[in-house]
A and B are shown apart, each in its own frame.
Chain A
Amino acid sequence: MEKISHPNQLLEWKSDVIANRPPYVKTIVISSGTCGQASGSLPVIEALEQELLKRNLKNKFEVKITGCHGFCEMEPNLIIYPDGIFYKKLKPKDVPKIVEETLLNNKIIPSLVFEEARTKERIYEQEEIPFYKKQKRLLTENNFKIDPTKIEDYVALDGYQALSKVLFNMTSEEVIEDIISSGLRGRGGAGFPAGKKWEICYREESQEKYIICNADEGDPGAYMDRSLLEGNPHSVIEGMTIGAYAIGASEGFIYVRGEYPLAVRHVTNAINQAREKGFLGTSIMGSEFQFDIQVIEGAGAFVSGEETSLMASIEGRRAFPRQRPPYPAQKGLWDKPTNINNVETWANIAPIIRNGAEWYAGIGTKGSKGTKIFSLVGKINNTGLVEVPMGITLKEIIYDIGGGIKDNKKFKAVQTGGPSGGCIPAEKLNLPIDYDTLAKAGSIMGSGGMIVMDESTCMVDIAKYFLTFTQEESCGKCVPCRIGTRQLFEILNRITQGRGEEGDIKKLKSLAKTVSSGSLCALGQTAPNPILTTLKYFLEEYEIHIKEKSCPALVCKDLIIYYIEPKKCVGCLLCLKSCPVDAISGERKKLHVIDHDLCIKCGACLEVCPPKVSAVSKYTGTKKEKLMKKTSPKRVKK
């Protein structure tokens, strides 16, 4: 491959790529990120290739394999252009029909079309599906159009033109000024203005400076960075290179979680392509600027997502955080000025430079500009990655885009910001989402995880879940974090086991204060947030656990029983056979009974009981006590 050594060559290359495209009749775009592959996209792709080959249609129809389309619930899915027909949840056996009817005869196959869960309306056009319609996909839209293994696809969409613009038409100061006035804030969690950070690093005098892309996306429930790296890796590389030019760095690192093998592969491949084409390396695009990027694979420690820990990890040490200041922008990697931003922040840079800071600042709210990608997951109908303008309300995200709560249950809360964030209750549904409103509500934006919970989610259990997580992931450097998170977990564990005591809530609150004020890094400082927000909005639920030893959401194992309703049981033996500990007795067509002494509450009986029978229920509190007496083994034997 020939290197690009002049801005005009890039424009020529772009025109060539577009002009040389074979005259396909239709393009079939199949999403095949990690989610897609996990749901079976690869056999569908294989079947499609085979079918086209068999019918000698390969020159008429293009198959484009892309990263994540965001609508993970409907994976594996495909879109047929130019009409934009969206087919969902595909199996290899659907392929011949798609080729015959839709590709060759322009007929839509109703059974593969998306159906809105609440209204039952069938919508065949991708853009018209409510999940996509209300989004503003500045960064994720290109995931539809780009084969992430092909640099040509990125170049055809004006890729590397922002880099060309800064290298040949802008000074470092002008680039930084653009990023500052765009209002872009770091997408990794704290929301520090990105341009300001660059400016601090730029002003530091040093022979060596470094650029880091934080792709150690450890927040459980967030995966937008994976999706960007898998689906559009060049956008991150271009952003980083612009950042390097602005602050004067010549070396960069992308620190990716080892748990994201596909992202590692795609970004490594993209870096090699960028080098071959002269977008990385010495004399980039013929200018005097040089910069290169290395991929570092993380080794599985949540704390290494914290910037100072991440740098320790790159240096080959344990990922321990350290005191700030000095900030990385002053003293970072190997004590040199280092600018660290996360994947989504880097992906925003090229569009800002291309379209101008004013354009970007026109999107969003007063204090938070642009769009944010959220991972909308949990008990919601349309799960997936959604990109929305800042300032959209929770209600719009959950009901208009997300299609409401699964199985028509009642919305209870949404958890944002991962283990550092908190739970926002139903009464705050009209909250416009940005950095500042979320903080005011007691949570944080974090990296953008949004886990929706319904009435069957126990808030004490959720707090316990996050503390299980943080106490395991605490690096151990600060005692309040190491021991405090453990103690917080122990108290919550006791409460969920029915051993809660009066005074526990006070203890939780006071210990939470100690942990957050006595820890060096954000992991410890924010670890109590899940407890504090659930206490703030769901205090009653804690009190019921402690005083009545019952779990209203029917989640905490020690506080519930499984019970077979005598009036509903048809004696089909299904639950009896599924029970791993033989705790269910009964005969065909006779009532089945659970022995509560043997039952381990695994839930297998509830899962296998046919929906139209639904004889297995869960009970807690006084009803539970009553039923336990009624069905004690002695009584049953009689």
Chain B
Amino acid sequence: MNNEKLEKIIDSSRTDQKELIHILHDVQSEYGYIPPEAVTAISRRLKVSESEIFGVLTFYNAFSLTPKGEHVMTVCMGTACHVRGGPQIVEDIERKLDVKVGETTADNKFTLETVNCIGCCAIGPVVVVDEKYYSNITLNKIDPIINEYKEDKS
């Protein structure tokens, strides 16, 4: 873990508890998860106990305690996506990647997640990979999406 980066995130201007969620967002986007060392450092800076920080970070879906895969594949579970077949899509991706929702593939390529609604209800079911949106997903559109990222060597 790069301490310099962490120091930069928890800089001296951020000393109030109201900064906690912002700091966690920054740590999450820098490291892809919240490392235990970061919790200790944030606790010292904000004078908020580690257990409370742990309580906050596990309360919100945006933060995770384990590193994520290279690509995060998110399937929308909103109502509109649900009535148009969203559940089938998740099950199929689970089968194809051989993971359950929340898990990361053995080769560390993908983490599969669901989201309650991303607000693209008119074009559901929707799958988002990293920041790219795929609309009107049907079962036969899943393989091409997975392959797009499998072949990607970056």
Instruction: Give chain A's interface residues, CB within 8 Å of chain B.
Output: 34-35, 37-39, 72-73, 75, 217-223, 226, 257-261, 296-302, 313-319, 375, 377-379, 383-385, 415, 418, 449, 451, 453, 457, 462, 465-466, 469, 473, 475, 578, 580, 602-604, 607-608
Give the shortest distance, in Å, between A445 (CB) and chain B (any CB): 16
Contact A318 B56 (CB under 8 A): yes
Contact A218 B79 (CB under 8 A): no
**Complex alpha-carbon distance, A317 and B79, angstroms:** 29
Q: Total contacts A to B, CB within 8 angstroms?
A: 160
Q: Is B20 an interface residue (CB 8 A)?
A: yes
Closest to A415 in B: B79
Task: Decide yes or no: A297 and B119 within 8 Å by CB, A315-B17, A377-B80, A603-B139 being known contacts.
Answer: no
* Chain A residues positioned under 8 Å from B91 (CB to CB): 602
Q: Is B135 an interface residue (CB 8 A)?
A: yes
Chain B 36-76, CB-CB to A under 8 Å as 1, else 0, gives 00000000000010001001100111110000000000000
Contact A316 B116 (CB under 8 A): no
Contact A300 B117 (CB under 8 A): no
Q: Which of A300, A378, A603 interacts with B60 by CB under 8 Å?
A: A300
Most buried by B among A35, A217, A260, A415: A35
Contact A607 B79 (CB under 8 A): no
Contact A223 B119 (CB under 8 A): yes
Contact A383 B121 (CB under 8 A): yes
Closest to A304 in B: B60
Contact A316 B124 (CB under 8 A): no
Q: Which of A298, A375, A418 interacts with B122 by CB under 8 Å?
A: A375
Give the shortest distance, in Å, between A478 (CB) and chain B (any CB): 15
- Chain B residue total in the interface (Cβ 8 A): 49
Q: Is B120 an interface residue (CB 8 A)?
A: yes
Q: List 26 A-B contacts (CB under 8 A).
A: A34-B120, A34-B133, A35-B120, A38-B126, A39-B123, A39-B135, A218-B117, A219-B117, A221-B117, A222-B117, A226-B119, A258-B62, A259-B115, A316-B16, A316-B18, A316-B21, A318-B55, A375-B121, A377-B79, A377-B121, A377-B124, A378-B84, A383-B123, A384-B122, A449-B121, A607-B138
* Chain A residues positioned under 8 Å from B122 (CB to CB): 35, 72-73, 75, 375, 377, 383-385
* Chain B residues positioned under 8 Å from A38 (CB to CB): 120, 123, 126, 133-135
* Chain A residues positioned under 8 Å from B61 (CB to CB): 299-301
Q: Which of B18, B24, B59, B140 interacts with A301 by CB under 8 Å?
A: B59
Give the shortest distance, in Å, between A540 (CB) and chain B (any CB): 20
* Chain B residues positioned under 8 Å from A37 (CB to CB): 133
Give the shortest distance, in Å, between B118 (CB) and chain A (any CB): 5
Q: Is B88 an interface residue (CB 8 A)?
A: yes
Task: Decide yes or no: A378 and B119 within 8 Å by CB, A299-B62, A301-B60 being known contacts.
Answer: no
Q: Is B95 an interface residue (CB 8 A)?
A: yes
* Chain B residues positioned under 8 Å from A578 (CB to CB): 139-140
Task: Decide yes or no: A35 and B80 within 8 Å by CB, A315-B18, A580-B95, A607-B140 being known contacts.
Answer: no
Contact A378 B131 (CB under 8 A): no
Task: Decide yes or no: A221 and B78 within 8 Å by CB, A38-B135, A72-B123, A453-B83 being known contacts.
Answer: yes
Q: Which of A34, A378, A473, A608 interacts with B80 by CB under 8 Å?
A: A378
* Chain B residues positioned under 8 Å from A257 (CB to CB): 119
* Chain B residues positioned under 8 Å from A384 (CB to CB): 122
* Chain A residues positioned under 8 Å from B88 (CB to CB): 602-603
Contact B83 A299 (CB under 8 A): no
Contact B79 A449 (CB under 8 A): yes
* Chain B residues positioned under 8 Å from A375 (CB to CB): 80, 121-122
Q: Is B30 an interface residue (CB 8 A)?
A: no
Closest to B17 in A: A316
Most buried by A among B60, B121, B140: B121
**Complex alpha-carbon distance, A315 and B20, angstroms:** 8
Closest to A37 in B: B133
Closest to A385 in B: B122
Closest to A218 in B: B116
Task: Decide yes or no: A300 and B17 within 8 Å by CB, A375-B121, A465-B82 being known contacts.
Answer: no
* Chain A residues positioned under 8 Å from B84 (CB to CB): 378-379
Most buried by A among B18, B55, B131: B18
Closest to B134 in A: A38
Q: Is B100 an interface residue (CB 8 A)?
A: no
Q: Is B77 an interface residue (CB 8 A)?
A: yes
Give B1-45 interface residues, CB cut-off 8 Å to A: 16-22, 24-25
